[in-house]
Amino acid sequence: MKLMSILTLGLGLAAGPLLADGHASGDAEAGEKVFKKCKACHMMVAGDGTVIVKGGKTGPNLFGLNERVAGSLEGFKYGKSIVAAGEAGLAWNEAEFVDYVADPKDFLKRTLDDKKAKSKMSFKLKKEKDATNVWAYIVSAGTE
Ligand code: HEC
């Protein structure tokens, strides 16, 4: 019994910091530079109105993206496919995000198992490293 609680405590302490960072494996500082490729279409503005990155309105605000249901930001006019993916249960995490930004249209086709799926985002971020870094940056900017 005693040994078990020591083990559990030890594991808890070891896993704590890992879990805290578990949703972003990239380098946020490098990702801030990658975001320059996104800001023509995307802004990052916190819930209280704080502007983190002044950006375009062609795409939805990317602040607080971690765990947000895909296609769900109120006031943004998404395409049908990404809304359908969100309704089917897609919420953004690192793996889905990296897969999506590499080729949004192909990602939606696979996710929905629908060859006719479309994406309003035509931009592709091919390098996986850039994608994990920009995800880390978006996550590091915080949540609502
Ligand atoms: C040329 C404009 C453009 C650029 C550049 C662009 N995006 Fe997008 N993005 C869009 C549009 C438009 C949508 C909405 C897609 C839809 O409705 O199908 C979108 C949607 C998204 C979504 C889904 C968000 C949600 O609310 O579900 C993510 C994530 C995303 N973009 C990330 C990025 C990242 C990261 C970059 C830079 C590496 C980037 N985009 C660059 C136009 C762009």
Provide the residue ranges of all domains of the chain, joining segments of one domain with +: 2-140
For residue range 7-31, list pLDDT tens digits in order: 444 444 444 444 444 589 999 999 9
Q: Which residues line ligand 1 (CB under 6 A)?
A: 37-38, 40-42, 58-60, 62, 65, 70-71, 73, 78-79, 82, 97, 100-101, 119-121, 123, 125, 134
Would you say 107 and 65 are in contact if contact means Cβ atoms under 8 Å apart?
no
Query: Where do we find the tokens 């802004």?
Result: 43
CATH code of the region 2-140:
1.10.760.10
Would you say 40 and 55 are in contact if contact means Cβ atoms under 8 Å apart?
yes
Give residues with Cβ within 8 angstroms of 49, minimum separation 6: none
Q: What end-to-end distance do the CA atoms of the chain give, in Å? A: 42
For residue range 131-141, list pLDDT tens digits in order: 999 999 999 99
Distance CA 23, CA 120 (A): 26
- The number of C-alpha atoms within 13 Å of 130 and in the hemisphere containing its C-beta is 13
For residue range 118-127, list pLDDT tens digits in order: 999 999 999 9
Ligand 1 atom nearest the C-alpha of 78 is 17
How many separate helices (H) and strands (E) can be counted in the chain?
6, 2
For residue range 43-82, list pLDDT tens digits in order: 999 999 999 999 999 999 999 999 999 999 999 999 999 9
Residue 86: its pLDDT value, please?
98
